[in-house]
Amino acid sequence: MSYFEFLVAHGDLLLSGTLVTAMLAAVSIALAIVLALTAGLMRLAPAGPVRWVATVYIEFFRGTSLLVQLYWIFFVLPLFGLSLDKFTAGFIGVGMNLGAYGAELVRGAILSVPKGQWEAALAINMSPLTRMRRIILPQALVIMLPPWGNLLIELLKGTALVSLISVADLTFQAKQINATTFMSAKAFGTALIIYYVMARFIITPLMRWLERSMARKLGRA
Amino acid sequence: MADWDWDFTWEILPRLLAATVNTLLAAGIGYIIAMFLGLAFALAQRTPSNTLTMAVREAVEFIRSTPLVLQIFFVFYVGPEFGVVLSPWVAGMIAIGLHYAAYLSEVYRGGLENVPQGQWEAATSLNLSTARTYFRIIIPQALPPSIAGMGNYLVGIFKDTPVLSVIGVAELMQTANSIGSENYRYLEPYTMVGIIFLLISLPSAALLRSFDAWVRRKLGMN
């Protein structure tokens, strides 16, 4: 069977898997961004308990593996009466895991905004909230965008693990095709290439564009 | 509400601890492969040959942007198609070693590029051979700034070993899976796996950070 025939025969499965992966990645990215911002800001809060909650979340999710977290969410949470369908369990696991890594990026970026900016905002009597929203966060965003590009690729790769709680994503479909046809090189090779294209030709250019337009907004381009 | 069964926990603990040894072994072997292969990847990008540089660069990018679990499947299942049957351990070590070699090569590359140009020029003016320049002048200076990155990936490879369970490597996750399906109890094994990971990865990360700080202090870097 030529590669072209292989694509004709199994293209629809690979395509539907790709769509599921893309959807799961999109929802996970949204969750990760919200969690990263929240936990990152909480880590900088003056009140101790607020900081501790964020620290526990971050250290817990960075200290164990994504696969363990996914299995725990999918197989153990139902024992506590919280049953999630596999797609939801998948994006919650991926989103919470990468959100913990993102929180450290947020914290680092906020801390690396030059001290003079904080002092200037204080000098013109800005409230802490306005200072964060108008002065610090926009500059922190420009600092953290490049590492976020890497993180989003990590997230895309992380979504492959949801196939192990049988979400029908790209990896899952590749495994299915492999199991029925035994054409391992074609099945897994094609899936690898699709992931590569998504990371290299969609996520990376999009992040570059975002970096440029953010820098321009701050008058730095 | 789930009930935590302590008797069951104690009963499965020895099996989990034995599997932890396998997990550590997998991470260790994988990391050693990655360290050497990564150095080869990094040095291959510094040869005068543009084609080689570009090819290795693309390969590293490809490995870094695709999921480890798929790479493990690929190595494990594609071999037999061409008559090469690999055991789960061998396939797993090749895949995870290759994956982290790509990451480590980037760490090395950063370290190598940070060595000031003057060091190269000084080595050339002293008529040192290329090998001698690398091993006596460049690599000793490139290594200390790379320690932090290398430490992160050491903890990273440890946390990625559960993925090896997909091809049946008998590490921690795989053992927890078998315990779960034998006893129809998943609460204790999966929770214990999480706790074991936390207990190992958090102190190691802290230890590696202080090692990095110690090296920097010793070398008067800050």
Q: Return d(Cα A5, Cα A7) in angstroms, integer.
A: 5
Residue B64 near chain A (CB below 8 Å): yes
Tell me: pLDDT of B1 over 70.
no
ipTM above 0.85?
yes
Which of B62, B160, B205 is facing A196, going by the closest CB pair? Answer: B62
pLDDT of residue B140: 86
Most A CBs within 10 Å, among B70, B99, B184, to test the A interface: B70
Nearest CA in chain B to A76: B187
Query: Model confidence over B91-143: pLDDT tens digits?
Result: 999 999 999 999 999 999 999 988 999 999 999 999 999 889 988 999 888 88
The share of chain B scoring above pLDDT 70, in percent, equals: 98
Q: Which residues in chain A have their CB less than 8 angstroms from residue B78's CB?
A: 184-185, 188-189
Q: How many domains does chain A have?
A: 1
pLDDT band at residue B222 using 50, 70 and 90 as cut-offs? low
Query: Model confidence over A181-196: pLDDT tens digits?
Result: 888 899 999 999 999 9
Q: B6-218 belongs to which homologous superfamily?
A: MetI-like (1.10.3720.10)
Structural domain harbouring A71 = 3-217
Say which CATH number the domain at A151 has.
Answer: 1.10.3720.10
pLDDT of residue B83: 85
pLDDT of residue B2: 67
Nearest CA in chain A to B1: A80
Q: Give chain B's mean pLDDT.
A: 92
